[in-house]
Amino acid sequence: MAGKGIQPRKPGAGSSSAKAAGNKSPGGRAPGSKPARGQRKQQVIPEAVANRMARRIAVATGIPTVLGMGVFIGSYLLVSRQIVDIPPGATLTASGGCFLLGVIGLSYGVLSASWEEKPGSLLGSEQLGVNISRLRESVRAMRAGGNGAGSDQ
């Protein structure tokens, strides 16, 4: 009886609530993320791959971002102590370049992660070409399918 009582997680589920309740565990996904309600299947990034991506993104964006902030601090210290007269444009250009490297590092962190069970190399340079070609194929498939609804699943 306890399992078939009021289910506050599934408002408006209608007559399919008994079927949906059997398919979902209490610690499962959100109600709208399952294809049981007529939605298309979604591919999910495996947890190990997501962790690899997160580590690579943290390093590839973190270091340039810290350097970009360091340029501001270093420039302030040098100018305020009258050691060197640095033009504001030079500080802006140098910090902007570091932040741009951080944005590029974001893409690199995602595209250099291995999708295989083995983690790959430290820099992930061998996975970069593979993942870029996968990305291009995915974009081509979405364009060929119209709005990318994934009708082949």
pLDDT tens-place string over residues 17-43: 444 444 444 445 455 544 555 455 567
Q: Is residue 111 part of a domain?
A: yes
Examine residue 3 and state whether it is found in any structural domain, yes or no: no
10 exposure class (CB count in 10 Å sphere: 0-12, 13-18, 19+) = middle
Please indicate, yes or no, if residue 65 is contained in any of the structural domains.
yes
Residue 39 lies in a domain: no
- Amino acid 151: pLDDT: 46
Question: In percent, how much of the chain has pLDDT > 90?
Answer: 43
pLDDT of 7: 46
Q: pLDDT tens digit string along 42-60? A: 678 888 888 989 999 999 9
- Domain total in the chain: 1
2 inside domain: no
Contact 65/99 with Cβ under 8 angstroms?
yes
> pLDDT grade, residue 153 (50/70/90)?
very low
Find the mean pLDDT for residues 95-123: 90
Max avg pLDDT among 3-7, 9-13, 142-146, 149-153: 142-146
Residue 146: predicted pLDDT: 59
Residue at 33 is within a domain: no
Give the range of the structural domain holding residue 52, as residue numbers without chain letter. 47-142
Q: Quote the pTM value.
A: 0.60
- Asked if 40 contacts 153 with a C-beta cutoff of 8 angstroms, the reply is yes
- 95 in Cβ contact with 71 (< 8 Å): yes
Residues 126-146 have a mean pLDDT of 89
Confidence band of 89 (pLDDT split at 50, 70, 90): very high
